[in-house]
Amino acid sequence: MNIYQPQLATVTEVTEETVDTRTLRLEFQDVAVRESFTFKAGQFGEYSVFGAGESTFCIASPPTRPGFIECSFKSVGKVTSALREVNVGDTVGFRGPYGNAFPVDDWKGKDILFVAGGIGLAPVRCVIWNVLDRRDEFGAVTIVYGARSVGDLVYKRELEEWASRSDVRIVTTVDPGGQTEDWTGDVGYVTPVVEKTAPAAANAVAVLCGPPIVVKLTLPVLDKLGFADEAIFTTLENRMKCGLGKCGRCNIGPVYVCKDGPVFTAAQLKALPAEF
């Protein structure tokens, strides 16, 4: 089997997150693969619908929950539109896991701040569950999540579950104008809400993912709160085809997002050319 040949996986669960975003749960059809497949939080894969092609997303479920993987995606292009049409029982392709990972084991004993905007919660969710499944090993957990509107919030049931836990502090916000009458969360952009939430930066790390503008504006705020560049982790997405360092399109200067990333610290980002 060559490196570009996908594994077959069955869709076992479909969750409609928003009008254009859904989560698929996949189980590998090959029993040996299903039982031996492992990955680390932050790694990604190439998901495919046969006839439409492949698309790159993170694995949105945590490695602490074996037996399946999940992906969340917004229906935008050819492949995601095809993935939007699949039903429980259908077969899709998967290649992976690829790329590096969040160094979760290095964070033992530390506080963790998660900041996500929109669909950027997908890779962060993987780390959140990974941390919550090993809750005793970490300090305070704070989550700041924002979307354009209440309708655009993804993982709504999980947001409620995290809000109901006493060992998690979560602030959910929607952009001004995106609130509904019964909305009880914050109203405002993610960046000022992070500043207002002001989690302690001493002995803490921050995990940040969202649209480029959210990442760009939030980095200075985290700096102001006292997070060192080495303690801020984010995950980048660039257009990819192979995921294996061969097809030549995801590089930012000398760094290949598929092999050297997708997880980078803010310190690493600052050393890169502004071409992402």
Partner 1 sequence: MSDERFFISESDLRALAADLLATGTEVIAPVAVDACASPAAMASSACMRPGLEPEDLEYRALTDAAELDLARGLPILSLKGYFLPEHEALCRWKQKGIAIEIEAVPTEFAPRVVLAAKPCDSAALAVVDEVMNWDYKDELWNGRRAATTIINLACPVIDESCFCTAVGAAPDAIKGADALLTPVKDGYVLEATTEKGHALVEAHKARLSPAADALTAGADVDRAAARARAAANLEIDAGSVRDWISTHFEDPLLAQLAIRCNGCGACSSVCPTCHCFDIVDEEEGVGRGTRRRCWDSCQASSFTLHASGHNPRDDQHSRYRQRINHKFSIYPLKFGEVLCTGCGRCTRVCHAGQDLVEILQAIDIAARRPDEAEAAAPAADAPSPVAP
Contact positions toward partner 1, by CB under 8 A? 1-6, 8, 48, 50-54, 76-77, 80, 89-91, 211-212, 237-239, 241-242, 244-249, 251-254, 259, 273, 275-276
**Cα of 78 vs its chain's centroid, Å:** 21
CB of 247 to partner 1, least distance (A): 5
CB of 78 to partner 1, least distance (A): 9
> Between residues 2 and 184, which has the closer beta carbon with respect to partner 1?
2
CB of 246 to partner 1, least distance (A): 6
CB of 114 to partner 1, least distance (A): 22
Q: Cβ(53)–Cβ(239) under 8 Å?
A: no
Residue 116 vs residues 67, 75, 87, 234: alpha-carbon distances, Å? 26, 19, 28, 10
Alpha-carbon span 133 to 168, nearest angstrom: 12
Q: Is 219 helix (H, G, I), strand (E, B) or coil?
A: helix
Retrieve residue 256's tokens.
């290949």
In this structure, the strands spanning 111-117 and 251-252 are unpaired
> Between residues 50 and 200, which has the closer beta carbon with respect to partner 1?
50
> Between residues 200 and 247, which has the closer beta carbon with respect to partner 1?
247
> Between residues 44 and 107, which has the closer beta carbon with respect to partner 1?
44
CB of 55 to partner 1, least distance (A): 8
Retrieve residue 133's tokens.
């499944």
CB of 62 to partner 1, least distance (A): 25
Q: Cβ(75)–Cβ(84) under 8 Å?
A: yes
Residue 240 vs residues 7, 75, 99, 159, 181: alpha-carbon distances, Å? 18, 17, 12, 30, 41
Alpha-carbon span 165 to 111, nearest angstrom: 16
> Between residues 54 and 152, which has the closer beta carbon with respect to partner 1?
54
Retrieve residue 82's tokens.
């095809």
> Between residues 5 and 164, which has the closer beta carbon with respect to partner 1?
5
